[in-house]
Amino acid sequence: MNAKSIKSMVKKRYGEIATAADTKKGCCCSSGCCGTGSSESSVFNEDYSKLGGYVPEADLGLGCGIPTQYAGIKEGQTVVDLGSGAGNDCFVVRRLVGETGHVIGIDMTEEMIAKAKQNNGKMGYSNVEFRLGEIESMPVESHETDVVVSNCVLNLVPDKGKAFAEIARILKPGGHFCVSDIVLEGEMPEKLKSVAELYAGCISGAIAKKDYLGIIRSTGFEAIKVESEKEYRIPDERLAEFMDKSALQELRRSDVKILSVTVVARKPKG
């Protein structure tokens, strides 16, 4: 798939998830309860329910970590959430930045933006906003952001180098990011790489951990640190929705590991 078709497929898939969250109470397609073809993201999802600022309606089970845990967010800061979905991380961030801070959620899916705005309307937050846009070309001014966070989204972006360059552009000198994402160790079998639905579920879109960190380093960030790392094994019955028996056996014979990592890095002050 080329970049345009990948984006189109991702927008369609996550638009369906946002719509399902509105029309099927207690049944989000990310969990697999809506039948075949569901996203695998819920396999990686962390429990947000005990975090300050948590809004249950905004939690669609699409994350693979809790980036705010290591983001060092302070009161009064401006924070941008990339791939903000229904607003889950934005509302947690808002609790941290307080009344004097500013939270901007960016998502390229119209349905997600609409749901996030609906959730924010219920909360009545005047310092939280959601903007429609792509991570490779963010609708955010340069050098105006203190912290960037993102949760299981950047591996869906075709041009990851451009994504991290955009993060560097919007950050203030000395600002930092904290992102949770899916990366790989070992070589992903070609048959698995070609499954579009798994790309939308964050798996086939993942790249090698060393390459992921290499992109961050080559973009000019410093103090790069992997704050957390967790290996996941996707259940065979879930993978069987997307591949035949031979492809599944090939995957199990390979040395590939699917990892959820949370990475922090700082933009140089000079």
For the chain, which domains are there? 3-266 (3.40.50.150)
Is the four-CA dihedral 210, 213, 217, 218 of positive or negative sign?
positive
**Residue with the two structure tokens 């790989």:** 184
The separation between CA 90 and the C-alpha centre of its own chain, rounded to angstroms, equals 12
Residues 13 and 197 sit within 8 Å (Cβ to Cβ)? yes
Q: Which residues pair with 104 in a beta bridge?
A: 80, 129
SS3 for 182?
strand
CA pair distance 126, 129, nearest whole angstrom: 8
Burial 139-176 (b: 16+ CB within 10 A, else e): ebeeeebbbbbbbbbbbbbbebebbbebbbebbbeebb
Please report which helix (H) or strand (E) contains residue 50, including its range.
Answer: none
If 0-12 CB within 10 Å is exposed, 13-18 middle and 19+ buried, where does residue 238 land? middle
- 114: Cβ contacts below 8 Å, ≥ 6 apart: 18
Please list the residues that pair with 103 across neighbouring strands. Answer: 79, 128
* Beta pairing class for 128-132 and 222-232: unpaired
**DSSP strand pairing (78-82 vs 102-107):** parallel
Q: What's this model's pTM, rounded to 2 decimal places?
A: 0.89
The gap between the terminal CA atoms of the chain, to the nearest Å, is 39
From first to last of its 270 residues, what are the pLDDT tens digits of the chain? 688 888 998 999 899 999 887 654 333 333 332 223 334 445 677 899 999 999 999 999 889 999 999 999 999 999 999 999 999 999 999 999 999 999 999 999 999 999 999 999 999 999 999 999 999 999 999 999 999 999 999 989 999 999 999 999 999 999 999 999 999 998 777 767 767 667 677 677 889 999 999 999 999 999 999 999 999 887 888 778 777 888 888 888 888 888 999 999 999 997
Strand partners, 67: none
Return the bridge partners of 179, or none. Answer: 150, 263
